Amino acid sequence: MSGSRERPLRADAARNRAKLLDVATEVFTTRGVDVPTEEIARAAGVGVGTLFRHFPTKEALLAAVMVRRLEAIAAGAADLAAGAEPAEAFFDCFRLVVDRSEGKNEFTQALAAAGVDVHASLQEPTTAIRAQLTDLLAGAQRAGAVRADLGLPELLALLVGTGATMEQLRDDPAARERIYEVVFDGLRPH
């Protein structure tokens, strides 16, 4: 699962990489993608050189941040899926993914703008989530809780879109709840 990549990575190097990722996540999320690399390095307490040793380009850093978020989401989803009956698992997982997607769009776009094939470069880490969602969707459909004519692509698109919807309603929890009602109602058969 968390297969070993390259060499084991020395202790301090690993610490630097982690700090960099933490800072980048924080900074990109709160201040946008245009923050200079140098600033991120400084905030992480390392030189730019170190940043570029770990992430050969800025895009690579961006991608790594995304991957990390996706992995976190996947972990959460795994817990939920393990739990209860199919329908509940599906809808709970939907909520989880959406709630954690905050700001994800900006990354995706920044990556795309940089000419990176997002689908390709994020393929592997996303696989876990994809697999889980496929299972959850199938289970919910088998249980008659979700329209049978929907596939994984529609589900993924809907997750992204609902995330975007929610971002517009950041300050109104009640409204967000109503949106969930609309979307979940729409997902059910008929």
Nearest CA to 105 among 155, 54, 33, 35?
Answer: 33
DSSP assignment string, 174-188: HHHHHHHHHHHHHHS
Per-position x/- string for 114-153, each x denoting binding to its own copies as judged by CB under 8 A, each - no binding: ---------------------------------x-xxx-x
CB neighbour burial string for 60-88, b if at least 16 within 10 angstroms, e if fewer = ebbbbbbbbbbbebbebbeebbeeeebbe
| 96 binds, options its own copies, DNA, none, Cβ within 5 to 8 A by partner type | none
- Contact status: 29 vs its own copies (CB under 8 A): no
Per-position x/- string for 31-50, each x denoting binding to its own copies as judged by CB under 8 A, each - no binding: -xxx----------------
- Contact status: 144 vs DNA (CB under 7 A): no
Candidates 29-37, 90-98, 126-134, 173-181; binding stretch for DNA (CB under 7 A): 29-37
d(CA 142, CA 148): 8
| 38 binds, options its own copies, DNA, none, Cβ within 5 to 8 A by partner type | DNA
Q: Are residues 76 and 66 in contact, defined by beta-carbon separation less than 8 angstroms? A: no
Report the site for DNA in 60-99 (rule: CB under 7 A). none
